[in-house]
Chains A and B, each alone.
Chain A
Amino acid sequence: MTPLSNCMDLWAIIPELILAGLGLILVPIAGLTRNRWRQTTTILAIVGIVAALAFTARMLPWQSTAVFCNTYAVDGFGAVFKLIIEAGGLISLLLIAAYFHRSPQVGHAAVAVVFATLGGVGLAAALDLVLIVLFLQMLSLASYVLVGLVRTDARGNEALIKYFIYAAVALAVMAYGFTFFFGMSGSLDLRAIGVALQTADPLWVTVMAWVIFIGYAFEMTVVPFHFWAPDVYEGATAPVAGFLSVVPKVAGFAGFLRFVLLALPGGLARWPLIIALLAVATMSLGNFLALRQHRLKRLLAYSSIAQAGYILIAVVVAGQVDGALSAVGFYLAAYLFMNLGAFAVVAQIERAVGSDEISATRGLARRAPLLAMAMAIALLSLAGIPPLAGFAGKVFLLRAALDGGWVWLAVIAAVNMVVSLYYYVAIVAEMYMKEPASEEAIPGNPGYTVVLGVTMLGSILFGILPAPLLRLTDMLSQIVR
């Protein structure tokens, strides 16, 4: 046993320390400020997350190592996922602040986003079952607060209780699976578990791996554990739905990849096949149900379920193909920009029109050209139209699956991508081809403009010039073993 003093590697968690300190400082500030001073919380939170981003970026070239008595990873894999999660937290914070501008919720939202980002960041680097449970809980707890921001809204309340019950049960079931992995290996370290499980009873390993997958599948909205997403997105406000579709999902993918690569090495428990089947179910069901939605938030919820299915096809080959991790990272980064772009537009429409029916976007190109353009770029990128980021990302995902020899999986994914065109293009047609019901302009504010600008820039730039982002996500292959 190493003495505790050797384990205090505080130098390795500067971004986490910044986020944690920030969250703790913001709690009293958010509670005490009134009126115009409420902005202080948001501004401090933005500055803090930017600082965390900067420190995480500085950690990119560091040598891979495990710190805090082998419980926490410092590696390229963690650093890249941390960057994506922090960027997602930052953009959603801007969006939430613009949506709740001048209302009492804005301070609480900032605190919750900071803590959720901290939970996600920790999950991306945790090497120990205890830390995984702890950070997952931190992420969920902050997300509950965000879903319940508007306390008097009946739909928001319903979404909140559904989200709470499903998340709590998923976490408990996952922890139950973890206890058996501990029992079979005698260790809580993912790498030691990976070694010990090679010789354990394969039946028990498989069953408990499935039980554990439930928790991750819930965060990643993988069928059959996706059912909460449409209800919760619809009941929560649009910017919070955007946050939920990005930060917990990216964190879920990061945690899941680290878990299967370290604790189930070499396709133990046949996880690649299980995940391949789940990927097919996820994208097919997500797309099929998205076709029949008439509310934007529900449609985007099913669309984000389908997108999770696409990403899973590269997760399947993560252990065998070199470029697979990079493809997952690239797609998640692109997804962050395009999905938050779409939710930013929905947020503005929801505030102005008071509804998120698809018919509310009718003739949007005449009423608000910038909004219509941002929405069109986001949706076409999600659909995978060249030269947008979603197209490049989908090419990398499919190529990873083909390199791994999963031809049938790539074919099904490609068919799904074509089907999804229908519902994305239908909204674009609604915005550009139809006459608006009223000519009234949609009011904006600078927060929205920044978010729309950043997301549009990301969706276009990473599509035309994927190389820089790809060079960044290539660092995902540096994972502590």
Chain B
Amino acid sequence: MAIPLTAYLIVAAVLFAIGIYAVVAQRTAVMILMGIEVLLNAVGLNLVAFWRYVAPGDYSAQIFTILIITIGAVEMAVGLAIMMLIYRNRHTVRVDDYQELKG
């Protein structure tokens, strides 16, 4: 085991930070969706790393990872459908243009 667990966790943490940055700072809905996807990938990487180093005999963490990937796919499908719908009504996916609801 040349690579320590910490290395995986740091990569995952960087991915997580990138995902949060994309969600907070990106202005188009599609990029925000990408950010959410990166967040979920950080979760998946963490899970696989922890499984390998902490509980290699217990395969339920792998099932968790597959579930996270599935959630990512489902969220992509739903998110893109929502964006298509909104684009058809408004002809823009820039989130700054959605400012009607506030107060």
The reply to whether B36 and A165 contact each other, CB–CB distance below 8 Å, is: yes
Interface: A148 (CB within 8 A): yes
Chain A residues near B54 (CB, 8 Å)?
182-183, 186
Chain A residues near B79 (CB, 8 Å)?
164, 168
Interface: B95 (CB within 8 A): yes
Interface: B1 (CB within 8 A): no
Q: Which residues of A contact B (CB under 8 A)?
A: 128-130, 133-134, 137, 141, 144, 148, 151-152, 154-155, 157-162, 164-165, 168-169, 171-173, 175-176, 178-180, 182-183, 186-188, 230-231, 234-235, 293, 295, 298
The reply to whether A148 and B61 contact each other, CB–CB distance below 8 Å, is: no
* Proximity string of chain B (65-83) to chain A, C-beta cutoff 8 Å, 1 when within and 0 when not: 0011001001100110011
State in angstroms the CA–CA spacing of A186 and B53 once bound together: 9
Given contacts A182-B47, A186-B54, 11 further A-B contacts (CB under 8 A): A133-B67, A137-B74, A157-B85, A162-B101, A165-B23, A169-B36, A178-B43, A183-B49, A183-B54, A188-B60, A231-B101
State in angstroms the CA–CA spacing of A161 and B35 once bound together: 15
Tally of contacts, chain A with chain B, CB under 8 A: 111
State in angstroms the CA–CA spacing of A261 and B60 once bound together: 23
State in angstroms the CA–CA spacing of A172 and B39 once bound together: 6
The reply to whether B101 and A234 contact each other, CB–CB distance below 8 Å, is: yes
A259 to chain B, nearest CB (A): 16
Chain B residues near A178 (CB, 8 Å)?
43
The reply to whether A164 and B64 contact each other, CB–CB distance below 8 Å, is: no
The reply to whether B46 and A171 contact each other, CB–CB distance below 8 Å, is: no
User: Across chains A and B, which 6 residue pairs bring their CB atoms closest together, nearest first?
Assistant: A183-B50, A172-B39, A179-B46, A186-B55, A231-B101, A158-B98
State in angstroms the CA–CA spacing of A179 and B78 once bound together: 25
Residues B14-57 near A (CB distance < 8 A)? 16, 19, 23, 29, 32, 35-36, 39-40, 42-43, 46-47, 49-50, 54-55
The reply to whether B103 and A298 contact each other, CB–CB distance below 8 Å, is: yes
A153 and chain B: residue at smallest CB distance: B89
The reply to whether B98 and A130 contact each other, CB–CB distance below 8 Å, is: no
* Contact partner, B68, options A173, A175, A187, A230, Cβ 8 Å: A175
B31 to chain A, nearest CB (A): 11
Chain A residues near B89 (CB, 8 Å)?
151-152, 154, 157
B98 and chain A: residue at smallest CB distance: A158
Chain A residues near B23 (CB, 8 Å)?
165, 169
B71 and chain A: residue at smallest CB distance: A137
The reply to whether A235 and B101 contact each other, CB–CB distance below 8 Å, is: yes
Chain A residues near B86 (CB, 8 Å)?
157, 160-161
The reply to whether B19 and A141 contact each other, CB–CB distance below 8 Å, is: no
B39 to chain A, nearest CB (A): 4
State in angstroms the CA–CA spacing of A248 and B82 once bound together: 21
State in angstroms the CA–CA spacing of A171 and B101 once bound together: 23
The reply to whether B60 and A176 contact each other, CB–CB distance below 8 Å, is: no
State in angstroms the CA–CA spacing of A187 and B57 once bound together: 11
The reply to whether B78 and A175 contact each other, CB–CB distance below 8 Å, is: no
The reply to whether B100 and A155 contact each other, CB–CB distance below 8 Å, is: yes
Chain A residues near B60 (CB, 8 Å)?
128, 130, 188
* Contact partner, B63, options A130, A173, A176, A186, Cβ 8 Å: A130
* Contact partner, A161, options B16, B47, B83, B103, Cβ 8 Å: B83
The reply to whether A129 and B64 contact each other, CB–CB distance below 8 Å, is: yes
Chain B residues near A173 (CB, 8 Å)?
39
The reply to whether A176 and B42 contact each other, CB–CB distance below 8 Å, is: yes
State in angstroms the CA–CA spacing of A187 and B47 once bound together: 11
Q: Provide a sorted-by-A list of 5 A–B residue pairs whose CB atoms are within 8 angstroms.
A: A155-B101, A161-B98, A169-B39, A176-B16, A183-B50
Chain A residues near B102 (CB, 8 Å)?
231
The reply to whether B103 and A154 contact each other, CB–CB distance below 8 Å, is: no
User: Contacts A161-B95, A162-B98: A293 and B32 contacting too (C-beta < 8 A)?
Assistant: no
Chain A residues near B55 (CB, 8 Å)?
182, 186-187
* Contact partner, B67, options A130, A293, A298, Cβ 8 Å: A130
